[in-house]
Amino acid sequence: MHPTSARSYKTLVQLTDSHLFADLNGGMSGVNTQDSLKQVIDQVRVEQDTIDLLLCTGDISQDGSPASYIRFAEMVSTLNAPMRWLAGNHDEGVVLQQVCADKDWLHSVYDLEYWRIVVLDSSIPEQVHGFLAEEQLKALDQSLATAGSRYVLIAVHHHPLPVGSAWMDKIGLHNAEQLLERIALYDNVRAVLCGHVHQTFDQEANGCVG
């Protein structure tokens, strides 16, 4: 049994699909993405006094530029929270690694008292859909096997379940069954968070919320 004291709960904030550009005026569908991110961060600051972990679930950048990642880091640092980042289909993995080289933002596991957060990279260079490579699946196996009594939350950019959009579901996680098979082996996986779909979507399957 986990205790239920006043601060036994943990606050995780998910930021996803900010799609920043090197150009400060860069935008998508007529929306300046930097201004949009700033508004989201301002709202988070209003709503959350304490953030135990900030999960940045991919498509941090639209153009893959170092400047866009550096600016994202500067903007979210105002929330004063530990972070984990993962790549989306618009991100440039090599650039992301370079920007985060002296940080722990890309580490795959974050233990938060009674929870283990596992971050997976489903991005494929030059592809829009997602796929979990063998090393990612092995890292997940290891993380689940060593979680002990902790609950587990998994974060990945591409959605592993259909969201009811014909075109979007074609570019989700193409080997989702391999992720779901692993989750089914453990009764402590409580949630899977994803980005990519640009809409709110919740579904429960086998006791796990996604």
Per-residue pLDDT tens digits for 152-191: 999 999 999 998 888 999 999 999 999 999 999 999 999 9
Q: What is the pTM of this model?
A: 0.90
Return the pLDDT at 209: 56
Return the pLDDT at 61: 98
- pLDDT confidence tier of residue 102, bands split at 50, 70 and 90: very high
Q: Which residues pair with 110 in a beta bridge?
A: 117
- pLDDT confidence tier of residue 210, bands split at 50, 70 and 90: low
Q: The tokens of 150 are what?
A: 């902790």
Q: Which residues pair with 151 in a beta bridge?
A: 115
- pLDDT confidence tier of residue 147, bands split at 50, 70 and 90: very high
How far apart are the C-alpha atoms of 51 and 44, rounded to whole Å? 9
Place of tokens 């890309």: 106
Catalogue the E-assigned strands of the chain: 12-15, 27-28, 31-32, 53-57, 83-86, 109-112, 115-119, 151-155, 189-193, 204-205, 208-209
Q: What is the pLDDT of residues 44-88, one digit of tens each?
A: 999 999 999 999 999 999 999 999 999 999 999 999 999 999 999
How high does pLDDT run on average in the chain?
A: 92
The region of weakest confidence among 50-54, 59-63, 101-105, 197-201 is 197-201
How far apart are the C-alpha atoms of 74 and 194, rounded to whole Å? 23
